Amino acid sequence: MIKGVSGRKHIVTDSEVAETADATDESSATASPDLEAEAPADVATDSEIQTGTSFPAPLHYGAPHPNMGELRGLPNVFQAVPDIIVDGADLTGLTVRAASLRGDDHRWYGETRQDSMGLSVVGDSAGIQLLLACVADGIGSEPLSHLGSALACRYLKVEIEASLDEILGHRNSPQITLIIQRVIARVGKRMAHHAEERGMDPKRLSTTLTAALVDMAPADGARYTLLFGVGDSSALVLTGGRFDPVWAGEAAGDTISDSGTAALPGQAGAARVIVRELAANDVLVICTDGLINPMKNQDVSAQLATSWAGEPIPGLVEFAWQLGFRAKSYGDDRTAVCVWGR
Amino acid sequence: MSQQVLPFYLVCDESSSMQGMPIDAINKSLPELHQEIGGNPVVADKTRFALISFNHAAQVLLPLSDLSNVTSVPALTAAGGTNYSAAFDLVRDLITQDVAQLKKDGHQVLRPTIFFLTDGQPNDTSEWPAAHQRLTDAGWAPHPNILAFGFGQADATTIQQVATIRGFIADGTLSPAQALQEFAQSLTRSIVRSGSSLDATGGMSLAMPDKVPGFTTVPADVI
């Protein structure tokens, strides 16, 4: 039987299923949906197919409103996007999980998700390959910002590919900041052009953008990672069981003083750039404020640290379920990409 | 950004002249307001509501609450005189306590909003302006925005003086009961729209009525 919810490419034997069930009985701390624990070992006959609703609801923190999370109507807006998207990859020595979930506020009002994300592998002319991961948070007050966040992710890939030789040539030089800021400026320019071609004020596409370029072949256990962003989305490294903010002065979940001001396509010059080397057991997280804000709650961040630091790395559906927790008063779209160096 | 909360205070006249249709109209509207706001997870999470009634004295009928946690909103009972200063003093004390508590709970508190409803001239003519001044003192950080609504014997000048941003005077085109229903609906709409509003920086802002059917809008006095 293939373990469908948690674990990747992992064949589970009957005895392992039993162990999983036992472990779950003793401790529910890993907070994974336990579908597999009761799944039939062979092809299920009709009588064995479960009829109950055994899939666990998302975790709750702080007594969320009883109507929170109701899906209500489908969004009626130009190029509305699905409620949830899930993506990932199991690369050699690198595992990626990504999900973008519509916030409960947008669900209640039948509005579309404004967050976007993107995953791709980019390569330079010498054959060096890197993972490019990004998240973008369309500005809430702009009804078409879901288009902006999607465009930012799409154009970022184009511009990173076009400049990858230059980026890698200056990977450890102070010049990297300027190079990346130029890349971001060109993303902003493409977005503005896209808007103007359609007779739209570029401001309508306002979005944040946070991205990571992760080396696929680490040297001596230190994995080169280039992080950059515009606006208030965040990057964290889960190391030693704790989330460590990548940008100084930005403790996990702290108020970000300049939040809400910097956004593409207008203010690309504000792009923050940092190089960080990841250790073998570090987990890189880039996410929108829909995740970073509820992580102020210690229970939320402790749970996510437990879910992501251990083994096995969550499967796609499990990862989306982990992000689907409900915390009172936090109704933003929530998007995260996690990268494991294994 | 920490979670923003916008507190609303309904400060409602229940003097003896409110007896009958007016008080019944308010008492009928409050459960509707409760249901509409309490049942909306977006708005209930981001707003708080308190009900204060006053005649010769003022009392808290519902302390500042998340309406999704409230089982029912108490009713008003008409009796007694009309003393504005009792109401202003009480609501000032409440705001002081409530804002401190909300901040302690980790919220970012937006400027409180008072919906003030009266049907008559105050009996404490010489005292209330000083109490009003204490409540609206710009040097007092949490000084509230006040929207004042008058009907019955209330006069436009008084309503203008009480309001800090906008006043409304019943114009007689609707019955008192209908006008009060419109008042309650404008309060509900204001809470719902404020609670689901997003300004350019992703924060909330107060959405207030420009016009209320049955009322004439009067600008607040510029001091």
Residues A193, A318, single domain; the answer is: yes
Residues A50, A70, single domain; the answer is: no
B203 contacts in A (CB within 8 Å)?
260
The CA-to-CA distance between both ends of chain B, in Å, stands at 34
CB B53 within 8 A of CB B83: no
Identity of the residue in A140, A256, A330 whose CB atom sits nearest the CB atom of B198: A140
3-state secondary structure A107-171: HHCCCCCCEEEEEEEEECCCCCEEEEEEEEEECCCCCCHHHHHHHHHHHHHHHHHHHHHHHHHCC
pLDDT value for A266: 83
Record the tokens describing residue A319, joined without a space: 């990862």
Task: Print the domain residue range for A143.
Answer: 65-340
- Distant-in-sequence, close-in-space partners of A94: CB < 8 Å, separation ≥ 6: A131, A214, A216, A339, A340, A341, A342
Nearest CA in chain A to B197: A141
The CA-to-CA distance between both ends of chain A, in Å, stands at 23
pLDDT value for A90: 96
Residues A6, A132, single domain; the answer is: no
Residues A43, A149, single domain; the answer is: no
CB A146 within 8 A of CB A79: yes
- Distant-in-sequence, close-in-space partners of A43: CB < 8 Å, separation ≥ 6: none
Q: Which of B3, B5, B108, B196 to mutate to test the interface with A (most CBs of A within 10 A)?
A: B3
**Mean pLDDT score, B175-187:** 86
Record the tokens describing residue A273, joined without a space: 């750039």
CB B71 within 8 A of CB B35: no
Residues A119, A255, single domain; the answer is: yes
pLDDT value for A253: 36
pLDDT band, very low/low/confident/very high, at B147 (cuts 50, 70, 90)? very high
- Inter-chain CB proximity B199 and A109 less than 8 Å: no
Residues A155, A79, single domain; the answer is: yes
Q: Strand pairing of A84-91 and A94-101?
A: antiparallel
- Inter-chain CB proximity A104 and B39 less than 8 Å: no
The pTM of this model reads 0.80
Residues A262, A281, single domain; the answer is: yes
Tell me how far apart the alpha carbons of residues A165 and A126 are, in angstroms, rounded to a whole number. 8
**Mean pLDDT score, B136-146:** 94
From the CB of residue A42, how many other CB atoms can be counted at a distance below 10 Å?
8
Percentage of chain B exceeding pLDDT 70: 96
Tell me how far apart the alpha carbons of residues A319 and A99 are, in angstroms, rounded to a whole number. 7
pLDDT value for A37: 47
Q: CB-hemisphere CA count at 13 Å for A283?
A: 26
Percentage of chain B exceeding pLDDT 90: 63
pLDDT band, very low/low/confident/very high, at B119 (cuts 50, 70, 90)? very high
Residue among A320, A332, A319 at smallest CA distance from A292: A332
B202 contacts in A (CB within 8 Å)?
139-141, 259-260
pLDDT value for B108: 84
B24-51 confidence digits (pLDDT tens): 999 999 999 999 999 998 899 889 999 9
B201 contacts in A (CB within 8 Å)?
259-261
Residues A201, A274, single domain; the answer is: yes
Q: Is B138 helix (H, G, I), strand (E, B) or coil?
A: coil
Tell me how far apart the alpha carbons of residues B19 and B198 are, in angstroms, rounded to a whole number. 40
Peptide bond into A312 cis (omega under 30): yes
Record the tokens describing residue A175, joined without a space: 């010049």
Tell me how far apart the alpha carbons of residues B160 and B222 are, in angstroms, rounded to a whole number. 9
Tell me how far apart the alpha carbons of residues B42 and A330 are, in angstroms, rounded to a whole number. 9
In degrees and rounded to multiples of 5, residue A153 shows phi and psi of -65, -40
Residues A126, A45, single domain; the answer is: no
Q: Is B144 helix (H, G, I), strand (E, B) or coil?
A: coil
From the CB of residue B201, how many other CB atoms can be counted at a distance below 10 Å?
14
Count of domains in chain A? 2
Residues A50, A76, single domain; the answer is: no
Torsion of CA A269, A272, A273, A275, to 10 degrees: 170
Query: Which residues on adjacent β-strands are paired with residue A264?
Result: A207
Tell me how far apart the alpha carbons of residues A32 and A10 are, in angstroms, rounded to a whole number. 16
Q: CA angle, corner A244, sides to A240 and A245, nearest 5?
A: 165
CB B161 within 8 A of CB B150: no
Candidate CATH numbers 3.30.750.24, 3.40.50.720, 3.40.50.410, 3.50.50.60; the one for domain B4-219: 3.40.50.410
The shortest C-alpha distance from B157 to chain A (Å) reads 38
Q: Is B1 on the interface with A (CB under 8 A)?
A: yes
pLDDT band, very low/low/confident/very high, at B174 (cuts 50, 70, 90)? confident
pLDDT band, very low/low/confident/very high, at B198 (cuts 50, 70, 90)? low
Identity of the residue in B40, B196, B201 whose CB atom sits nearest the CB atom of A261: B201
pLDDT value for A31: 54
Identity of the residue in A68, A141, A329 whose CB atom sits nearest the CB atom of B200: A141
Identity of the residue in B44, B106, B199 whose CB atom sits nearest the CB atom of A141: B199
Nearest CA in chain B to A329: B45
Record the tokens describing residue B63, joined without a space: 């302390």
Record the tokens describing residue B100, joined without a space: 């401190």
Tell me how far apart the alpha carbons of residues B166 and A225 are, in angstroms, rounded to a whole number. 55
Query: Which residues on adjacent β-strands are paired with residue A236?
Result: A245, A285
Can you list the residues of chain A whose pLDDT is less than 50?
1-29, 35-41, 251-260
Q: Which of A56, A78, A98 is the last residue of a domain?
A: A56
CATH code for the domain in which residue A323 is found: 3.60.40.10
Which amino acid appears at position A288 of this protein?
Answer: T
B60-92 confidence digits (pLDDT tens): 999 999 999 999 999 999 999 999 999 999 999
Residue among B114, B47, B117 at smallest CA distance from B78: B117
Tokens 């909003």 belong to residue: B113
Residues A230, A313, single domain; the answer is: yes
CB B149 within 8 A of CB B116: yes
Length of chain A: 342
Residues A51, A119, single domain; the answer is: no
B207 contacts in A (CB within 8 Å)?
none
Question: Complex ipTM above 0.85?
Answer: no
pLDDT value for A17: 39
A–B: how many Cβ contacts below 8 A?
58
